[in-house]
Structure 1
Amino acid sequence: MPDETRDNGPAARSVAGDEVDVAALFEALREEVRRCGADPGGAGDADTRRAAREEAERLWPVSAERPLRLRPGVRGGVGTPAKSVLRKMMRWYVEPLAYDQRSFNAAALRLIDDLEERVAELEAELERIRGAGPR
């Protein structure tokens, strides 16, 4: 049975009171999506694009190496060394895939940079044309 005492935010409270402003709810959801960066098709301002680029720069180098989380107790004492050995044995299988992914990510970021540059040039050219006005 669901927990009725849990507060699910203003949307849930307005539904409980039978007063739903759909437009306001939709706009609030849209703003929430924009804030969390999950709106890839959104126009976004320069700060949003810069933040997305910084995140892409941080995440593009995919690797098979990740730090092991140490578990307490016997399971950690036995599991951690076993995982370490297994990771070293499987690295030969996983690392070529990670290398290909890193190469793709780097190429995609270069293409995105090139496209952004070209769009900026086209926007500047459009402004020059609009500034010249009709002849």
Structure 2
Amino acid sequence: MADEATGNGFPSAEDVDVEALFTALREEIRRSGADPGSGGAASDTERFAARAEAERLWPVSADRSLRLRPGVRGGLGTPVKAVLRKMMRWYVEPLAYDQRSFNAAALRLVDDLEHRVASLEAELEGRREAERT
């Protein structure tokens, strides 16, 4: 019976299409963005999604909301954490400021490179059209 699983709860080796499974896993990894060196050209949708994610994540800050723990430990720990956080902010915030500055500069450079590549592609296409005629 091809649809039944073996005694251990997994399908038998004959029932699994390994190539299809591998292809599906590769596609899922590519869509998740976890495979940056895949070598494939990113579509406009993927590029816009990556840019939107970069825009959302670039403003690094030392301020984060505290997680409230239930019970006595949470009741005692939360005020202590709040005080410690305010005391340590002077130490962490300069690092966050530097990271924000770097992130903003990197995004500006990426935008500049994207514009330069687009203009070079347009110039190349124009030269190819001129050669054809």
- Greater mean deviation of Cα atoms: 37-46 or 70-79: 37-46
- Superposition map of 1:27-66 within 5 A: 27-41=23-37, 42-66=40-64
TM-score (norm 2): 0.83
Structure 2 partner of 1:72 = 70
Alignment identity in percent?
A: 73
2:98 paired with 1:128: no
Question: What's the Cα RMSD here?
Answer: 1.9
Report the CA distance between 1:93 and its aligned residue.
0.7
| Whole-angstrom CA distance in 2 between matches of 1:89 and 1:112 | 36
- Matched with 2:93 is 95
State the 1:132 CA deviation.
Answer: 1.1
Q: In 2 relative to 1, CA 26–126 (structure 1 residues): closer, same or farther, beyond 3 Å?
A: farther
2-side partners of 1:116 and 1:38: how far apart?
A: 22
Q: Give, in whole Å, the separation in 2 of the partners of 1:128 and 1:21.
A: 47
Q: State the alpha-carbon separation in 2 of the partners of residues 71 and 112 from structure 1.
A: 41
- The Cα of 1:133 is off from its aligned counterpart by 1.7
The answer to which of 79-88 and 34-43 deviates more is 34-43
SS in structure 2 of the partner of residue 133 of structure 1: helix
Equivalences, count: 124
Gaps of 5+ in 1: 6-11
Give deviations 1:58-107, integer Å, cap 9, x for gaps: 00000110000111110110000000001001111111111110000000
